[in-house]
Structure 1
């Protein structure tokens, strides 16, 4: 054991020495956020930085390209700050937007060097770059020295908002102001790329006299200007000056040498100088705040000299890179060999230790093995007991949850009867019922309050099981909130509470699930009014920011203790100063709904309570959901909303219906609900009632225009009835509305798969039901128009639905038997395997005409085609389409088309 400890000490010493070596090899991290690398000038900047950094082994340079996007550059700076770089270098895209990010880096203690372009203010360590004002002056001086004293000039500026563009333009114009005859006649704004100015310059040259000079803020835009001038044969008349003077095939120096540009102003990249400056900062040396690089005008006089100098510099850089590569290779070889030796020593020591340790463990493990076997047996027994208990507990909890969920659903049908009955009274104000209006309002409000609590339980259940899914809809948030506030005005008047609402932008739109956010805003307002005393105030403000919206609810109530701010969002939790009964679920559900929108909710309390809800603009944060762009009028969507009803009256349904009124079949086993629906619908529809035991039979016997079917029925459920009717040729065309207490995604999906046209949950508003009836009947009318006008255009045999197939079969049978004068409607119904009455009703429902009228129209249509396209005479055609008398055929044809067969034939 003594030797084992000694070897372990040796092993730890080796590891410590290895760690010390690694710490001695620590290097400095330098992060560079490059604006973009789309041009040779910036690529040269990157190249010179990398070359200079390679000369300093203690520096690790990381370059990130922002690709000319501000958001990318801000994100890159944030990443460098998070990584804790030792020096940050930034070439800003634009001055103002990037300033806060650089100030954040300075606040984090990271020395920051600004290169090329400037930022707002002086909160940086050092600046490296040419004097852009001096560059503008040099361009102006060049024009002054080469012009005859009078010239027209066009200036092409860089990207708006960047410091080089602003300063170059300022230096250029101030210098030209001293000579009145030299005028900048036009300014074209570019974005540093030639494509951004070519169309603008082309249009300008078409409308004005060609200028004497064009000053472009960089060589790329200058080249673009020359290409435009050449396209208009003006390249010899216009002198073009650029900026950058980059060395290389497409650089400004080569453009001057090729006589494309008259001159370019050298704009040093400063890459090498910046790395040297970073090294000085890392060494603790004092550096100058502003490090201005020298610049020079390159024209035909000195272009060869400059190119030779750059050739030599480039050759030297290549030689340095090759030498550095050789040095790096040797260093890597040395490090590899050194690491290998250390690794071998460590492994050898480890092998000795493990050998001794394994002998010790073999002895020790034999002793413990028996103990572990006994403990393992005990653990297995306990685990089996725990699993058995957990299974029982799970079944017990599931049973309780299912019980309360089923109980909640059972409440909904009686609530439907209560609210429907009271709404019937409230919808008919008359003198006899005015005396009980107060009691009816009490019944309505308390019934709907009970419904709100039930829905709260169901929402809690859905959140716990994770079955909630957003249904975002584009919504004008201010009217949406105002519609909710309107429901609290009676209570505000009652308690003398002042309501204040303000929004700077009434047209502000957000993508929200209206049902969820309705419950959130309603719950928070309900709490505000509950805990605000008489003569208090409740204020609602909408504040818009760049990326989102804050909705603030502030009241003058009792407030919330500071140490309970976060606890109040837990389920069942209430504030300690809350003496009023509540479920404790409202704020928990509200917070979950807001987080489903990727939003946040905050609470503060000072002379009352303030809730702030932050929601994001746009829809990118909701991309996993199906989003509706339909921004309909804001309406109260919650079934528990406290509406302002008038004085109740009774409206008696009329029994004098038009004979063409639609027929509604109601399949409902609750007699009270059937009675109310019958009473409400009888004024507009012929109503047929079924208790669910004979629903399918009554649908087949009567062929109604629309069916309202409950889900829970004694014989077959609503899914089965709907599925059977939709798959029966006799009833497949009838629209079906499912009426149920179930409000789950699975139930809705199952109803749609069964063929239901609409799905309404209890308790429901009669106006919604009535509008749903009108909607499905209207949709049937649109289908009828389609079938009567477009059915002949359908050629595919794989039809989309049963109605199209039925009409194709119908047309085929009629067409094949047109010559058979004895072919009757009864024969047609028999071939289709339905009764004559059912055939009549189905054709009437689909096409709006009787079957006899439809057969006759098919005969005449076939006759019309034969008259136009065949050599048959009128008599032959009459017999061909099933008329026994040519005279009767002529009379029918003229009545249908307003022209005799003979006249049509002669044409």
Structure 2
């Protein structure tokens, strides 16, 4: 059944194809010809009339396509136009030459290439063309001369105005005219003017002749446009009644020769037909292979006052008939298009009807067949859906399990950092103390310290690997002296090299070269490559670093070379894969160091390659400038590699505040440590309690203890069981009672997101574990020092602080609010500290501690100082009595006011006013 249906559809397709072929057969039988016409120019009416006649005539022949190019009366343009038409492979070329001689070679070239050539109006210098069509210019000249000879038997003087020099019409018209004039005794050409077929070209020469010769009778002009110009000059000289003008062309219409004769501006004009319609007819005969004459001459005649009106009416009637023909042709074209459209629509409808009948039958058969297949597909789809859901469920379980393992692994890695911090800090303290004097014990402590650092580096590598997988690394490149940077890391491996007698060297050809690198990431790359080099290089071997600056390019290469066991050739392409270990590697290794190194180098837009012959060579290629980096990948750091040294000493400016930093237990600054690791709490408490009063919290009551004690500094861990360090910091910074307290966050997270989150929560300092205690200690001193400087500012500018001064801190807002409440209650002698605390919505003790921390004074003294400063101002600026000022500033009596004023300003109010 299905095979029968397919055969039926094939037969139907053949039938439909035959219908369309028969419908289009009439179109394909008609051959189309392209005729190219190179016209001299289209600015004058005679040329426009020729073009119009050719276009109208071509319109009668649908198989003809006429393409007219305007040469703008420039012979170079005309040559280019003909070359263009030849290159387009037209079927026939029509040329009206601007000048005969220059145009002849290109015309002969077209003729010799097989293109029929029809020359119209003007001739060329050769005979290599198919046919010529135009008026007999020699006859035009003789007709003009004979017409003038017929007018008189007296002696008459004539001025001849010629056309463009070098054109065949100008030469032939002048020759015919002068042949007759020379044989006529009473006519003489006294002067000749050469024009360019335009009226402006003959006016000045004609004026000069008319001024020098007074007895001019006739002017013969080679075309009507120049003849009109001659008439304008004659009229200007007021000689129009004596001098008669004879023109050539005889065009109908405004400014045409016939109209000029009717207006008595011209004596007569010689009809010179354009031959536009005859040119198309002659071209069609040539294209159809008919024999035509070489020279086809158009008839000419004289038009004067006797026949001008008749000729004008005849031309008008011809134009009207032509317009009617055009209108009828347009209507016929519309009818043909309508007929063709209707015929094609009918054919299409018939074809669609047949196809719809066949498809209707086929759809019935297909419907039955599809329902059967649909049932089969539904069963199959049901099975696939069940299997897909099972696979998805398993995949989700695997994903959750894998995510849990990865999170556990990451969290565990972070947890390692706290005990390592304790080990490093303790060993650092031991090495700095004078308790250990035994060199062997000191060596063992150093061994603990070095291995702790190694363990920390491995943990950081694991965390870096996870961040690389999640694409969370952001490059922080800064301008760095590459040799100095490399030399610092070189020194870390010198002791190992000396111990194993390895020849370890570093060289460069440019010690001043600076590049933009992320020092932290590049430090890890160096350590990975050098650690591998020393691991696989035997004693008495060679390890070298060579920095090679290519002065002729924008790149620098860093070579790490060793004389170790090398890498098997078949495994070279796997070296940078994660967890890969070479087959000749019998040492323990994580297998991610080289993978991370490659990722870090590619973050710098650089490359790393490996060569292994006698040992191994890693080559790092980096850009020398920063144009390859995005703006957010560049940071500005001082180009001093000392920043990478361990715990540099910082130089702080001494001030009055730091001189009395610690006096006794009551004057000690207080620190609250919020940490859930007991060992770290014990370590920090023991170290900090020497200089500070220390309170501790395991995180559960951290906020409550901060509100209770209002400490000077808070040190808070990020990972806490109840609330995170970020949450605690944000809560305390938003609370008016604790907003002024500097907070240091301790964390094992050193990624960009954690830093941003810490800053958003309001932390003053963000230290990552493991940290150096000396850095923590100096950071605490710096924060307290900055807090004291802020307190100094508030104390000395207490009366200038208002809500309009925006220092961007909650403390400034607090002091502004405090001053506003006191000023609003200035004349209230019963306004107390309790009232102020109530208005601020905090307790009296919290207000006391807040004021003590910010201003260093108690609240009562602060209120009284505000009152006395106000009284001082009123004594200067008002004429109120001392008693009135005392009551206005909230003092209970004038005597109390005077005593208080004298105690503060060392002068009584009366003496101060005087």
TM range (shorter): 0.5 to 0.7
User: Which residue does the alignment assign to 2:409?
Assistant: 404
Q: 1:453: Cα distance to partner?
A: 1.7
SS of residue in 2 equivalent to 1:595 = helix
What is the alpha-carbon distance in structure 2 between the residues aligned to residue 358 and residue 474 of structure 1? 78
1:540 is aligned to 2:546:
yes
The residue correspondences of 1:319-718 to structure 2 (distance < 5 A) are 372-430=377-435, 432-535=437-540, 536-543=542-549, 546-623=553-630, 625=632, 627-631=634-638, 633-635=640-642, 657=664, 659-718=666-725
Q: 1:790: Cα distance to partner?
A: 5.6
What is the alpha-carbon distance in structure 1 between the residues aligned to residue 476 and residue 448 of structure 2? 32
User: Which residue does the alignment assign to 2:53?
Assistant: none
User: Which residue does the alignment assign to 1:755?
Assistant: 762
Pick from 733, 743, 762: which aligns with 1:736?
743
What residue ranges of structure 1 are gaps of 5+ in the alignment? 12-47, 60-343, 642-653
Q: 1:683: Cα distance to partner?
A: 2.8
Q: TM-score, normalised by structure 2?
A: 0.55
User: Which residue does the alignment assign to 1:870?
Assistant: 878
Pick from 827, 831, 834: which aligns with 1:819?
827
User: Which residue does the alignment assign to 1:850?
Assistant: 858
What is the alpha-carbon distance in structure 2 between the residues aligned to residue 56 and residue 787 of structure 1? 93
Q: 1:627: Cα distance to partner?
A: 3.7
Q: CA RMSD in A?
A: 4.5
Task: Output one character per residue of 1:539-559: Cα deviation in whole Å (capped at 9) or x when no partner.
Answer: 231525553443332223222
SS of residue in 2 equivalent to 1:570 = coil
SS of residue in 2 equivalent to 1:849 = coil
SS of residue in 1 equivalent to 2:740 = coil
Pick from 715, 719, 742: which aligns with 2:726?
719
> Do the aligned residues in 1 keep the contact of 2:718 with 2:726 (CA within 8 Å)?
yes
Q: 1:895: Cα distance to partner?
A: 6.7
Q: Cα gap change, 1:474/1:681 in structure 2, threshold over 3 Å: closer, same or farther?
A: farther
> Do the aligned residues in 2 keep the contact of 1:711 with 1:718 (CA within 8 Å)?
yes
User: Which residue does the alignment assign to 1:236?
Assistant: none
Task: Output one character per residue of 1:754-801: Cα deviation in whole Å (capped at 9) or x when no partner.
Answer: 332222232222122223223322332343344345663543499844
Q: 1:805: Cα distance to partner?
A: 2.4
Q: 1:636: Cα distance to partner?
A: 6.8
Please say which structure displays the higher CA radius of gyration.
2
RCO higher in structure (CA 8 A, sep ≥6): 1
SS of residue in 1 equivalent to 2:778 = helix
User: Which residue does the alignment assign to 1:828?
Assistant: 836
> Do the aligned residues in 2 keep the contact of 1:499 with 1:537 (CA within 8 Å)?
yes
Q: Cα gap change, 1:503/1:838 in structure 2, threshold over 3 Å: closer, same or farther?
A: farther
> Do the aligned residues in 2 keep the contact of 1:657 with 1:683 (CA within 8 Å)?
no
What is the alpha-carbon distance in structure 2 between the residues aligned to residue 497 and residue 58 of structure 1? 80
Q: 1:522: Cα distance to partner?
A: 1.4
> Do the aligned residues in 1 keep the contact of 2:559 with 2:617 (CA within 8 Å)?
yes
Q: TM-score, normalised by structure 1?
A: 0.56
Q: Cα gap change, 1:857/1:655 in structure 2, threshold over 3 Å: closer, same or farther?
A: closer
> Do the aligned residues in 2 keep the contact of 1:483 with 1:636 (CA within 8 Å)?
no
> Do the aligned residues in 1 keep the contact of 2:882 with 2:910 (CA within 8 Å)?
yes
Q: 1:587: Cα distance to partner?
A: 1.0
What is the alpha-carbon distance in structure 2 between the residues aligned to residue 58 and residue 452 of structure 1? 77
What is the alpha-carbon distance in structure 2 between the residues aligned to residue 900 and residue 858 of structure 1? 17
Q: Cα gap change, 1:618/1:849 in structure 2, threshold over 3 Å: closer, same or farther?
A: farther
Task: Output one character per residue of 1:466-490: Cα deviation in whole Å (capped at 9) or x when no partner.
Answer: 2233333443333332222221121
Task: Output one character per residue of 1:573-599: Cα deviation in whole Å (capped at 9) or x when no partner.
Answer: 123332222111111111112222222
Q: 1:516: Cα distance to partner?
A: 1.9
What residue ranges of structure 2 are gaps of 5+ in the alignment? 1-5, 18-76, 89-343, 649-660
What is the alpha-carbon distance in structure 2 between the residues aligned to residue 588 and residue 769 of structure 1? 34
How many residues align structurally?
Answer: 575
Q: 1:371: Cα distance to partner?
A: 5.3
The residue correspondences of 1:29-108 to structure 2 (distance < 5 A) are none
What is the alpha-carbon distance in structure 1 between the residues aligned to residue 354 and residue 404 of structure 2? 59
Q: 1:705: Cα distance to partner?
A: 0.6
> Do the aligned residues in 2 keep the contact of 1:663 with 1:706 (CA within 8 Å)?
yes
Q: Cα gap change, 1:688/1:455 in structure 2, threshold over 3 Å: closer, same or farther?
A: same
Q: 1:825: Cα distance to partner?
A: 3.2
Task: Output one character per residue of 1:507-538: Cα deviation in whole Å (capped at 9) or x when no partner.
Answer: 54444333222212211121122122222232
What is the alpha-carbon distance in structure 1 between the residues aligned to residue 768 and residue 504 of structure 2? 33
Q: 1:818: Cα distance to partner?
A: 3.2
1:795 is aligned to 2:800:
no
> Do the aligned residues in 1 keep the contact of 2:558 with 2:621 (CA within 8 Å)?
yes
What is the alpha-carbon distance in structure 2 between the residues aligned to residue 835 and residue 592 of structure 1? 57
What is the alpha-carbon distance in structure 2 between the residues aligned to residue 444 and residue 56 of structure 1? 92
Task: Output one character per residue of 1:190-233: Cα deviation in whole Å (capped at 9) or x when no partner.
Answer: xxxxxxxxxxxxxxxxxxxxxxxxxxxxxxxxxxxxxxxxxxxx
Deviates more, 1:756-765 or 1:624-633: 624-633
Q: Cα gap change, 1:758/1:523 in structure 2, threshold over 3 Å: closer, same or farther?
A: same
> Do the aligned residues in 1 keep the contact of 2:662 with 2:669 (CA within 8 Å)?
no
Q: Cα gap change, 1:368/1:352 in structure 2, threshold over 3 Å: closer, same or farther?
A: farther
Task: Output one character per residue of 1:434-472: Cα deviation in whole Å (capped at 9) or x when no partner.
Answer: 331121122112222222222222111122222233333
> Do the aligned residues in 1 keep the contact of 2:489 with 2:523 (CA within 8 Å)?
yes
User: Which residue does the alignment assign to 2:847?
Assistant: 839
Task: Output one character per residue of 1:79-138: Cα deviation in whole Å (capped at 9) or x when no partner.
Answer: xxxxxxxxxxxxxxxxxxxxxxxxxxxxxxxxxxxxxxxxxxxxxxxxxxxxxxxxxxxx
